[in-house]
Amino acid sequence: MCYTTRVTEAVRFFLAAPAGSDAALAAPAAPTASAPHAAETSTRRPEPGLARGVWEAPRWAFFVAIAAIVVLAALYAARRAGLLRRRPRP
């Protein structure tokens, strides 16, 4: 038995319970669709995808940033390994 089946059965149980029973008191009141603010409220969602903002960087900017991080990390590792040390001139 999946979760949604159990939830559906529970909802049916609470809706079928008599008005004076404890089961009916435990069920929360469902909001009505005729509420005055329900028709006025609207939700605007962005278009699906990554480009959601006005200040979204172009695709090449991400590749440049990744390349800069890789180069800097390689230079740091080479310096720590001693490959970039200056040798005294004879």
The Cα-based distances of 21 to 31, 55, 72, 86 in angstroms read: 21, 57, 71, 87
CA atoms within 13 A on the CB side of 65: 6
pLDDT at 87: 75
**Looking at per-residue confidence, does 64 or 39 come out higher?**
64
Q: Is the pLDDT of residue 23 over 90?
A: no
Query: Is the pTM higher than 0.95?
Result: no
**Mean pLDDT across the stretch 39-50?**
73
